[in-house]
Amino acid sequence: MRYNNNIKTLGPQAARLVTTLYEQNRPIFRLKEVQKILHSNEASSRNFVRKLVNRGVVTRLKPGLFILVPYELGKEAEYMGNPFIVAREIMGGKDYFLSHATAMEIHGGVTQPQLVVNITTLKPRRSIAAQGIEFRFIHSQKRYFFGLSDHWVTKQEKVKVSDLERTIIDGLKQPEYCGGLTEVAKGLWMRHQDVNVNRLISYAMKISVGAVIRRLGFLLELYKIGTSEDWEILSSYLTETYVRLDPLLPPEGKFLRKWRLQLNVTPEELLSVVRT
């Protein structure tokens, strides 16, 4: 964090802008809102906001997107606010949901704070870095926008997030966005008493990715989550093809015919993770 030695005194225009934004519950705002409130053109608004950034009244999150720095922070000149709300505002009303490790954090399935916010979107986008947080965008087709719920960040603010079961399925499909298969397994175990196994299986069928079905069946059986009938449903969908349990690790380890998996993470390792 850097500090601004200027005293944050507000002139009439700045006071009107800040007051109006708070009244509208818009601490995160865009340049067009400045233009509307101050009745100014784009160039004047941009120059005005730049001065507020230099004075520590406002922090720039990305080109054209800003956040008010709470007055009680004193001389603090950089401020992020809640990264989940920032992620929603970055999307600007376009379809999205918080996913993978970010959703796992929201659902209480991680033990370490996350410095990356994963956002599933309909169009590819480059990552954005702001105030030490990386906002990473994961491209998805519209037909995979299911299993979503609202998460209330505050009493007034909510964001869209994958539900617990969808989060686990996404982790099994793309463990690279969750820190690896072991982290997904840990999250599954941490929330296993709340997980809906029927929904997990339904989502796995809807995603229709063989590797997901294999990994899910293996982990459910390993951790004794669900019933043998549940595991049999998943095993009935398998083909003869083998895949790695963790696609991020080298192709080594025993082959488990029941789930058509190469166990490059051993069952003992996965069981030891949940005992700690």
pLDDT digit string, tens, across residues 109-139: 998 888 999 999 999 999 998 888 999 999 9
* Residues facing 138 on adjacent strands: 120
Vertex 199 angle, CA 193 and 233, to 5°: 100
Considering only CA atoms, which of 261, 231, 267 is closest in space to residue 247?
261
* Alpha carbon distance 176, 93 (integer Å): 27
Q: What is the pLDDT of residues 175-218, one digit of tens each?
A: 999 999 999 999 999 999 999 999 999 999 999 999 999 999 99
**Given this model, what pLDDT does residue 9 score?**
63
* Alpha carbon distance 170, 185 (integer Å): 12
Please state, rounded to an integer, the average pLDDT across all residues of the chain: 91
Q: What is the pLDDT of residues 222-268, one digit of tens each?
A: 999 999 999 999 999 999 999 999 999 999 999 999 999 999 999 99
Q: What are phi and psi of 275, to 5 degrees?
A: -90, -15
Task: Please report, rounded to a whole number, the percentage of residues in the chain having pLDDT higher than 90.
Answer: 76
Location of structure tokens 């997901």: 212
- Check if the beta carbon of residue 185 is closer than 8 Å to that of residue 219: yes
Torsion of CA 83, 85, 86, 92, to 10 degrees: 150
- pLDDT higher than 90, residue 17: yes
pTM: 0.83
**Given this model, what pLDDT does residue 1 score?**
37
- pLDDT higher than 50, residue 4: no
